[in-house]
């Protein structure tokens, strides 16, 4: 009887170990790193893939909150910290991209998708997420953006609130504003005289 009970206990344990192995293989194949940030202890855990993504030696680097922050590009730290605090205070997930500076000086773009685990009182106890390298995609987007910006035809995209999400150089020159001045602003805010005209009505019918 005891042998049968032992077998029953061993089978779920073996099954769990197989699931862990499958997950580890899948993460390696997808180049995804898993991390956990335990808020009460301010402790951070990384899977082996995260060390690879950031280019640090797991035998030398200890992933404390301070050490992880130091790897973030100085120009991105404030935004990353603000989004992290918002995640903790509101108890919501987190999705963003930022630059990291490896110890050898190489700059990489890191994608981060995370969710939260709450304690019995509804406070965020852990932030658990995946990190992945999006540098090549970012570089491709930059190259495409440079090519599009040099096209003589006017190219522009808007969101559903008719805010500029992309403006190439030709469009910016015609409008008489820089791309930076246009991005994020509504065409109706910039051109209030257009409200109610034929283009305005046609645009809203196409929404």
pLDDT at 170: 80
pLDDT at 2: 45
pLDDT at 63: 97
pLDDT at 197: 60
pLDDT digits (tens, 9 = 90+) for 74-106: 999 999 999 999 999 999 988 899 999 999 999
Q: How does DSSP assign the chain, residue by residue? A: -HHHHHHHHHHHHHHHHHHHHHHHHHHHHHT-EEEEEETTTTEEEE-HHHHHHHT--TTT----HHHHHHHB-TTTHHHHHHHHHHHHHHT--EEEEEEEE-TTS-EEEEEEEEEEEE-TTS-EEEEEEEEEE-HHHHHHHHHHHHHHHT-SS--EEE-TT-BEEEE-HHHHHHHTS-HHHHTT-BHHHH-GGGTTSHHHHHHHHT-
Cα separation values, 152 from 95, 149, 167, Å = 35, 8, 12
pLDDT at 152: 72
pLDDT at 143: 76
pLDDT at 126: 95
Longest dimension (CA), the chain: 87
pLDDT at 183: 84
Q: Give the chain's residues under pLDDT 70.
A: 1-30, 148-149, 151, 194-207
pLDDT at 86: 93
Instruction: Give me the domains of the chain, ranges plus CATH numbers.
Output: 32-139 (3.30.450.20), 152-205 (3.30.450.20)
* Beta strands 156-158; 164-167: pairing state: antiparallel
pTM of the entire predicted model: 0.62
């Amino acid at each position: 009887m005891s042998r049968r009970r032992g077998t029953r206990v061993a089978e779920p344990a073996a099954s769990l170990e197989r699931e862990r192995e499958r997950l580890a293989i899948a993460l390696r194949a997808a180049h995804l790193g898993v991390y956990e940030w335990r808020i009460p202890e301010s402790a951070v855990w990384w899977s082996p893939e995260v060390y690879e993504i950031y280019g640090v030696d797991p035998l030398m680097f200890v992933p404390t909150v301070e050490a992880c922050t130091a790897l973030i590009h100085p120009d991105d730290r404030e935004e990353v910290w603000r989004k992290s605090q918002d995640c903790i205070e509101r108890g919501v997930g987190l999705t963003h991209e930022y630059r990291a500076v490896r110890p050898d000086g190489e700059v990489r773009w890191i994608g981060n998708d995370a969710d939260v685990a709450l304690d019995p009182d509804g406070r965020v106890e852990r932030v658990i997420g995946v990190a992945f390298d999006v540098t090549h995609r970012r570089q491709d987007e930059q190259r495409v953006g440079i090519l599009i910006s040099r096209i003589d035809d006017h190219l522009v995209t808007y969101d559903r609130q008719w805010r500029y999400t992309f403006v190439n150089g030709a469009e910016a020159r015609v409008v008489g504003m820089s791309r930076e001045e246009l991005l994020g602003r509504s065409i109706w805010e910039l051109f209030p005289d257009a409200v109610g005209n034929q283009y305005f009505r046609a645009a809203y019918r196409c929404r």
